[in-house]
A and B are shown apart, each in its own frame.
Chain A
């Protein structure tokens, strides 16, 4: 009797499991039919986003050109763009005048085939669509670390041109690329922050050091956890 029960139980499990496997197999065979063909193509090309930082930040979506407009590789390569990362930038003439002459993007972006590169309303299509205004910037060179509250300054009513590009290039990390120039001595000469932080327009750069200098401990707090940093920084 006991044996019979055991047998029945084992059989039962086997039947259920078998049914499940069969079901899965049926689903697997059905799946490729359900999958849209476009997705497959999209996957094959990858969702490449090319973020250009030189000479100014701009974004080119490889995906939208290849998938949405169905260009083949030879539409652009190698005649307009060498098939090598950074090649256009290295050529030295990858700029708006060239585009207006019909080179690079300008081959299509001439106002007829695609939106032109001149009209003001078009700028944001390539520049700015992904350029997010930073809330705070933490400089780590030449000393670690200095905090700059970007939001606080823009909320004071400054526009972009107040600081960019004369005092600071509008590019993350630009000032830090020249740590030997981005010094307190430069600030005292009226460069960088020193243009306003001179004692007349804003507190002088040679006072209240720790207002901006958050130090290594402050830096580690910010990178150790956002919540903790936010609690400390006001």
Chain B
């Protein structure tokens, strides 16, 4: 492959044995089944990618394109990313920490989750490799993103999801005209089926044969955090874990920016958040193990319900190396986390966001994130997609007739009446 066909990529490289492969649609090492990862030419990247260059580009995830695995200009999802990083002072006070930031991918474009990042990379690369049909195994958000971005790019899409997903996530895939296949089983079973389908059909499965490219897209969330913090790495980052891939890639984004001299190298801690009803990684971390036991998930955080997390081993390693910790939260604590974030910061996150907030609260209370430090919470998806999880838990409307008298009667009843008009 010529340099123009490769961009700044060098090869695909096995994370276990280091064997190198051509930059095609393949994800596993033939020799030990280890996952393949994109290797880059960092010397060349360093010679062209500076803060000034990045800042001169449009505010999308593609402002870091040399560090993303496409050979030419991206063709799918060119508007994705650069979501707000909010200084969350009210939430900081509630959780008892000096400085807190919320990276808000609940408003990522176009499908309101961080998955638009990985999908724009995977589909841009799929187009480069000549695929006409794209596919994925998904807990919902990925399916939405593949469906939407494929539609916009004129690609055919097959998305495979567990049949019992939230209605919001199902409709958000169907509306784009994708082929949505509901599987009677857990995500892990969906994924197994997809691994078999991917072996048989010449499709670009974003999280199977395109996985090395796809996973790299997550780094952009970490690049943005560093730039938006004023070119620095946060002391603490709390990230929810399904497969554990996002956590490892945000860590990698900090390593890459340090290596390129875009930020100064300071110690950072990466913390992982899971739901108690599916906590293979956090329970292993708490027990001090470097391997996990697979589980059968049972949690309202369906986007995190992966019982056999492919990157669990690597996520454990990142937490260990950085001195990070892990916790998990119950369904009630997840709902409380969603409300806390909504009431303090006006951000409505999906269940995974409730997991991140709930776990941050626990880690701060335990002193694993020091009260006198600074932390970033990664919010990965939008609450409008998981309404089912909170309906009936966020209060009820008080219904009255269109009458001022009735309204004032209601206020008097709720506020004790006196001085309502004057008190404002």
Does A associate with B in a complex?
no
Q: Which residues of A approach B to under 8 Å, CB–CB? A: none
